[in-house]
Structure 1
Amino acid sequence: MNHSNKNKRNLDLDQHSNDKSDDPVKRSKQNEEDDREIVENLSDSEKNEIDEEDDYDENNEDEELSDKEISIEFTAHDPIERDFHGIRCLLQQLWLKENIDISELTELVMKDTITTVIKQSIDEDEQPDEDEQNNDDEDDDNVFGVISIIPFNSHFNEKNCVQQIKNLLSSYLPKDNDISRKLNHSDAKCALIINERFVNLPSQISVPCYQQLLAELKQQTTSSKFEFDHIIMISKLSKNQNDLFYTNDEDEIFSERAETQFEYSVSKQSDTHSIDWNDDEKTFEPYQNLFRNIDISIP
Structure 2
Amino acid sequence: MVKRKSGVDDKAPSKDKMDVDGEDSGSDDDELLNVDFEYFDPSPAVDFHGLKTLLRQLFDVDNQLFDLSALTDMILAQPLLGSTVKCEGTESDPYAFLTVLNLHEHRDKPVIQQLTNYLIEKTRSSSLRLESLLGSSSKSQIGLILTERFINMPSQVIPPMYNMLLEEIQWANDEKEPYQFTHYLIISKTFTEVASKLDVEDDRPAKKSKKVANAVGETFYFHPEDEVLEKHALATLRFEYEKQGEEGASDAKRAFQEMGVRPVGRLTLIEREKFEGAVKAVGEYLGSEA
8 A contact 2:58–2:188 mirrored in 1: no
Does 1:203 pair with 2:155? yes
Query: What's the offset of the Cα at 1:95?
Result: 2.2
For the residues of structure 1 that align with 2:256 and 2:50, how far apart are their CA atoms?
A: 33
For the residues of structure 2 that align with 1:197 and 1:163, how far apart are their CA atoms?
A: 25
TM-score with structure 2 length normalisation?
A: 0.68
CA change 1:77–1:270 in 2 (3 A) is farther
For the residues of structure 2 that align with 1:176 and 1:69, how far apart are their CA atoms?
A: 44
| 1:17-166 correspondence runs (5 A) | 63=27, 69-80=32-43, 81-96=45-60, 97-112=63-78, 114-122=81-89, 139=92, 142-153=93-104, 155-166=105-116
For the residues of structure 2 that align with 1:207 and 1:121, how far apart are their CA atoms?
A: 20
Q: Tell me the residue number matched to 2:236.
A: 261
Q: Which deviates further from its counterpart, 221-230 or 156-165?
A: 221-230
For the residues of structure 2 that align with 1:270 and 1:93, how far apart are their CA atoms?
A: 14
Does 1:216 pair with 2:179? no
- Structure 2 stretches lacking a partner, 5+ long: 1-24, 194-215, 285-290
Q: Tell me the residue number matched to 1:178.
A: 128
* Corresponding residue pairs, total: 221
SS at match of 2:66: coil
Q: 1:232 aligns with which of 167, 179, 185?
A: 185
Q: What is the RMSD computed on CA atoms of the aligned residues?
A: 2.7
For the residues of structure 2 that align with 1:267 and 1:239, how far apart are their CA atoms?
A: 16
For the residues of structure 2 that align with 1:293 and 1:105, how far apart are their CA atoms?
A: 22
TM-score with structure 1 length normalisation?
A: 0.66
CA change 1:254–1:82 in 2 (3 A) is same
8 A contact 2:100–2:146 mirrored in 1: yes
Does 1:283 pair with 2:260? yes
CA change 1:70–1:159 in 2 (3 A) is same
Answer 1 or 2: higher relative contact order, Cα 8 Å, separation at least 6. Answer: 2
8 A contact 1:79–1:115 mirrored in 2: yes
Query: What's the offset of the Cα at 1:273?
Result: 4.1
8 A contact 1:235–1:246 mirrored in 2: no
Name the amino acid aligned to 1:274: S
Query: What's the offset of the Cα at 1:274?
Result: 2.1
8 A contact 2:82–2:164 mirrored in 1: no
- Structure 1 stretches lacking a partner, 5+ long: 1-60, 128-132, 134-138
For the residues of structure 1 that align with 2:165 and 2:268, how far apart are their CA atoms?
A: 18
Query: What's the offset of the Cα at 1:186?
Result: 2.1
Q: Tell me the residue number matched to 1:274.
A: 250
For the residues of structure 2 that align with 1:287 and 1:62, how far apart are their CA atoms?
A: 30
For the residues of structure 2 that align with 1:100 and 1:267, how far apart are their CA atoms?
A: 12
CA change 1:285–1:163 in 2 (3 A) is same
CA change 1:239–1:91 in 2 (3 A) is same
Name the amino acid aligned to 1:248: H
8 A contact 1:88–1:103 mirrored in 2: yes
Query: What's the offset of the Cα at 1:244?
Result: 2.4
